[in-house]
Amino acid sequence: MRISLNERLLDLAVTGFLWGFRILIVAAILIGTFNTLRTGKYTGEQWLDFVVFGISQGAIYALIALGYTMVYGILRMINFAHSEIFMSGAFSGFFLATYLTKTGFTTSNPLLGLLIPILFAMLMSTSIALLVERVAYRPLREAPRLVPLISAIGASYFLLYTFRGFFGPGVYAYPPIPALEGEWVVLGIHILKVQGVIIIAASLMMATLYSIVQFTKIGKAMRAVSEDKDTAALMGIDVNRIIVTTFAVGAAMAGAAGVLYALIYRQVTFAMGFTPGIKAFTSAVLGGIGNIPGAMLGGIVLGVVESVAPSLILEGLGITRPYQLKDAVAYTMLVMILLFRPQGILGERLTKKKA
């Protein structure tokens, strides 16, 4: 089919604009970084603090992103209710942690006082996610792709305002754990104990999930269903069971992330899932949507960039109070990913059938 001159000119104009935008972003990053480093305002120890904090919050984003990327890998849909699954985990852990703190159990048994709320949050988040899957998603599996997307948004708002109705719009203070106060010194690097625990806990959960997916029978079945549901069913795999398991595993990771997020920010509220959910989705896209190691890597990268970029880049561009714009960094990264590498860091270009 012959392409008209106007279409060619339009394509050239769009391509030129995108390349100009890319060059502008790269130039801003280089100029801001150069100006900040030239002033020497921050010491090496302060930069390390930024990186450690970024890794800890990035580990939380990675745990949430796993739910997005696993569901997309199986069903080719974005589970927009996943951010509320994360929020439900934070609330579940909060109420149990508050009870354990009042009874003195957390003070006398700090490890169990941390572990039990996490496990309880994982259980509650999994239960809610399975209910959402059964009611909002399963009846629509054969429907056009836009239909389950609308259902996901509806499920998200339903959970959001259900929690607001039960617990109100107020902000709850997550109870502190005395054993996590203070810091550790590792190889000369000062790490807050709560940040260290978050990094260790998230790393263990991500390593466990990766091992399950790669080296177990259920993990092989997940990968088979992700590749081709119809062929997997012909080979004797219970596709419905695999989909349910995928929702359960992703929700468990999000529930644990909710408790870890509450530990570091010490706040729980009904609307707390929106911003971490957007950033976790950005992490999944950054690493390669549908790619489990990519979601883990994307979360860590986004967390570090979000922690370092305001001081490293924005301050060098003369922006006052740059840390107030840290959320904008995540959205800017999402745009940059779509411009520079739409398939993500570890992702591959999808065929038309998968896309």
Q: Is residue 234 part of a domain?
A: yes
By C-alpha distance, which of 256, 274, 246, 281 is closest to 130?
A: 246
In a domain, 16, yes or no: no
* pLDDT bucket at 355, cuts 50 / 70 / 90: very low
Position 352 scores a pLDDT of: 41
Contacts of 233 (CB under 8 A, 6+ apart): 239
Q: At 354, is the secondary structure helix, strand, or coil? A: coil
Question: Which residue carries 């997309």 as its tokens?
Answer: 72
Q: How confident is the model at residue 303 (pLDDT cuts 50, 70, 90)?
A: very high
Confidence of residue 326 (pLDDT cuts 50, 70, 90): confident
Burial 288-326 (b: 16+ CB within 10 A, else e): bbbbbbbbbbbbbbbbbbbbbbbbbbbbbeeeeebeeeb
Question: What local confidence, expressed as pLDDT, does residue 3 receive?
Answer: 64
Which CATH number goes with the domain that contains 228?
A: 1.10.3470
The 8-class DSSP code of residue 312 comes to I
User: What six digits make up the tokens of 349?
Assistant: 């270009």
The CA distance from 278 to 156, in Å, is 13
Domain that holds residue 227: 46-300
pLDDT value of position 161: 93
Q: Report if residue 172 sits inside a domain.
A: yes
Q: What pLDDT shows up at residue 118?
A: 95
What per-residue confidence (pLDDT) applies to 348? 59
Mean pLDDT (the chain) is 87
| CA distance linking residue 216 with residue 246, whole number of Å | 14
Query: Phi first, then psi: what are they for 345, rounded to 5°?
Result: -65, -50
In a domain, 284, yes or no: yes
pLDDT for 260 equals 94
Work out the angle at residue 57's Cα, subtended by the Cα atoms of residues 123 and 226, and round it to the nearest 5 degrees. Answer: 55
Using one digit for the tens of pLDDT, what is the confidence trace for 245-280? 999 999 999 999 999 999 999 899 999 999 899 999
Would you say how long the chain is, in residues? Answer: 355
Mean pLDDT (whole number) for 16-42: 85
Domains in the chain: how many in total?
Answer: 1
CA-closest candidate to residue 118, choices 261, 277, 271, 278: 261
Instruction: Give the pLDDT of residue 211.
Output: 93
Residue 52 covered by a domain? yes
Residue 296, in any domain of the structure: yes
Amino acid occupying residue 292: I
Two tokens, residue 270: 């009904």
- pLDDT tens column, 180-236: 888 888 877 888 899 999 999 999 999 999 999 999 999 999 999 988 888 888 888
User: What sign for the dihedral angle of Cα 18, 23, 26, 31?
Assistant: negative
Residue 335 falls inside a structural domain: no
Residue pair 65/284 in contact by the 8 Å Cβ criterion: yes
> At 351, is the pLDDT very low, low, confident or very high (cuts 50, 70, 90)?
very low
pLDDT beyond 60 at 349: no
The SS3 assignment for 172 reads: strand
pTM for the complete prediction? 0.89
Residues 100-159 pLDDT 10s: 999 989 888 888 999 999 999 999 999 999 999 999 998 888 888 888 889 999 999 999
Mean pLDDT for the stretch of residues 154-175: 92
Residue 187 domain flag: yes
**If you search the block for the tokens 């807050």, which residue do you land on?**
192
Q: Which residue has the tokens 């561009």?
A: 317
Q: What is the dihedral of CA 196, 200, 206, 212, to 10 degrees?
A: -170
